[in-house]
Structure 1
Amino acid sequence: MNYTLNQLQIFLKVVQTQSVTKASEDLHLTQPAVSIQLKNFQDQFDIPLTEVVGRKLYITDFGREIAEAAENILNQVYAINYKTLAYKGQLTGRLKISVVSTGKYVMPYFLTDFMQQHSGIELLMDVTNKNKVVESLENNEVDFALVSILPNTLNVEKLDLLQNKLYLVGNTRMKLDKNIETKEIFTDLPLIFRERGSGTRQTMENFIESNNITVLKKMELTSNEAVKQALLAGLGYSIMPLIGIRNELHNNELQIIPIEGLPIKTTWSLIWLKGKKHSPVSLAFLSYLKKDKSQIVQNRFSWYEQY
């Protein structure tokens, strides 16, 4: 056996994602690089670790046992690294955060300086939809979650970070009568929704329901980026967060369509399970945010107040 830590990490990620493509994306490697390292690792065993049926990758029972062992080995390696840094008096450990998909435009700015101050901290940030974020928090798999709608099924504590504003947005090449009433706008408007389970989708549906709006034409896409690209292509309109379209507004590619009742305003909040016993790392991060969040908002999101 002559496997490397890199091969263990790649194999573990393939098992977790059950996909070479997704593993390569998560590890920021090319797909061929992951495939080569996976093959080199598997060739060291007489029993298959994975098998491909049709186009789908499956992990064998033996492969799952090896993945469990790989995770234990990697955890020990992390522990050695942490002990070395801790011996030098540095803050060490993992900070695990689950972020709703649009939150990827928000959370990094509240992490940058903190991570630079503490090089011994390993950040694990999962970007997914609201349902999965709440699930990971409920299962105590993460320290914190970033949401714009508080879950009503969990008892949580929160720290508000930034206001979230949602507007009706469309391509600048598409023209609407500015005098048209809100309900009339949506009669023939091709409206693009996020997938079910998305916080943006929930906010959008609440607005439509509370205003008794009938939507005749609609599409559904599974990410904020997909919706944005559809708007740029002229496929329709959507109610979406301002935070994700700064560049497109600046470049005059997308426009905000002023209508009564918009923007919808919610709040980006960092949440955690009530009563959670925080690690030294997560306590330090909370302390940092409470002290510096106002300055971060002023430095990083001053453009936000123009709208």
Structure 2
Amino acid sequence: MNYTLHQLQIFLKICQIQSITKASEELHLTQPAVSIQLKNFQDQFPIPLTEVVGRKIYITEFGREIAEAAEKILNEVNAINHKTLTYQGQLSGRLKISIVSTGKYVMPYFVSEFMKQNPGVELIIDVTNKSGVLKSLELNEVDFALVSVLPKKLNITKVELMQNSLFFVGSNQLNLKKSNDKKNLFENTPIIYREQGSATRNAMERFITTNKFSVQKKIELTSNEAVKQAVLSGLGCSIMPLIGIKNELKNNDLQIIKVKGLPIITTWNLISLTSKKSSPVAIAYLDFINSKKEEIINTHFSWIGNY
């Protein structure tokens, strides 16, 4: 057999995602390139690793065993690379952070300089929903999690990063004639929600309940980007994090509609399990955040004060 580490990496990713298309996207390769490498890898085994039913790829029992072996091999290779960098005096290892979807507008700015300073560190940012973030933290699968609502059932350590402001937002094509039209607008215009369990969804529902608004038409979408595009199209209005609509406000595509009781202010927190034995990379990153967060906020997020 003459398979390569690159083929192992591709096969493992396909097994984890069970999609050649999505695997190619995550690996930043073309779909044909991934398909060719999968075929070249499969040709070295007399037993099928995968099977296609309809348009969906399935991993055989033998394929799953090969995937487990591939993961162990790749982990050992990473360990060798990290040890080499350590002997060279460089910080090395893996930093894994799980974030909610709106956190993607925040987290990159809080890791960029750290990664430039430490080229031996491998960064993994998992973008998922609130329940997925908390599950990965509870199972000790990540070093840190970025959340705006702190979990009640986990013993965690937190670092407050920055405020998260939620405003009532509509398309700039929406005409508001009178100030007293705004309550009617909220109650009579379709309101676009995030999915159940989303921190933004929970904040919206608390606000609507507190103000005794009666929402007649609800639309539910499963990502902040999807909500933004729906609002841009004029499909409805929503309560959205300011952090995710900077360019749309700047280009006058969206408008903030002033409603009593808004904005809702929460805080982005970087949290970790108190009981977790932190790696040298995680410790170094925590030191970096504590010393640099104010500078990062002033450099990249000072525009928030304009709203």
- Same fold per superposition (TM over 0.5): yes
Find the aligned partners of 2:234 and 2:171 in 1 and give their Cα distance. Answer: 6
Match of 2:284 in 1: 284
Match of 1:36 in 2: 36
Match of 2:128 in 1: 128
List aligned pairs for 1:85-96, cutoff 5 A: 85-96=85-96
Match of 2:206 in 1: 206
Find the aligned partners of 2:42 and 2:177 in 1 and give their Cα distance. Answer: 62
Alpha-carbon distance change, 305 to 47 in structure 1, aligned in 2, over 3 angstroms:
same
Find the aligned partners of 1:245 and 1:201 in 2 and give their Cα distance. Answer: 17
Match of 1:45 in 2: 45
Q: Does residue 119 of structure 1 match 2:119?
A: yes
CA contact (8 A) 2:144 2:272 kept: yes
**How much does 1:84 deviate?**
1.1
Find the aligned partners of 2:79 and 2:287 in 1 and give their Cα distance. Answer: 24
CA contact (8 A) 2:86 2:92 kept: yes
Moved more, 22-31 or 256-265: 22-31
CA distances 1:51-72 after superposition (whole Å, capped 9, x unpaired):
1222222111111100011011
| Total equivalences in the alignment | 307
Q: Does residue 242 of structure 1 match 2:248?
A: no
**How much does 1:268 deviate?**
0.6
Alpha-carbon distance change, 3 to 205 in structure 1, aligned in 2, over 3 angstroms:
same
**How much does 1:36 deviate?**
2.0
Moved more, 14-23 or 32-41: 32-41
Cα RMSD for the two superposed structures = 1.3
List aligned pairs for 1:119-268, cutoff 5 A: 119-180=119-180, 183-268=183-268
Alpha-carbon distance change, 278 to 178 in structure 1, aligned in 2, over 3 angstroms:
farther
**How much does 1:182 deviate?**
5.5
Match of 2:7 in 1: 7
Instruction: Give the SS at the match of 2:197.
Output: coil
CA contact (8 A) 2:171 2:255 kept: yes
Instruction: Give the SS at the match of 2:160.
Output: strand
Q: Does residue 294 of structure 1 match 2:294?
A: yes
Q: Provide structure 2 residue ranges, at least 5 long, that are not aligned to the other structure.
A: none
Moved more, 69-78 or 52-61: 52-61
**How much does 1:153 deviate?**
2.4
TM-score (norm 1): 0.97
**How much does 1:183 deviate?**
4.2
Find the aligned partners of 2:252 and 2:3 in 1 and give their Cα distance. Answer: 52
In the TM superposition, structure 1's runs of 4+ consecutive aligned residues that sit over 3 Å from their partners are none
Moved more, 65-74 or 225-234: 225-234
CA contact (8 A) 1:156 1:272 kept: yes
Q: Which amino acid aligns with 2:157?
A: E
Instruction: Give the SS at the match of 1:149.
Output: coil
CA distances 1:118-170 after superposition (whole Å, capped 9, x unpaired):
11100011011111000000100000000111112222110000100000111
Moved more, 17-26 or 269-278: 17-26
Find the aligned partners of 2:305 and 2:32 in 1 and give their Cα distance. Answer: 44
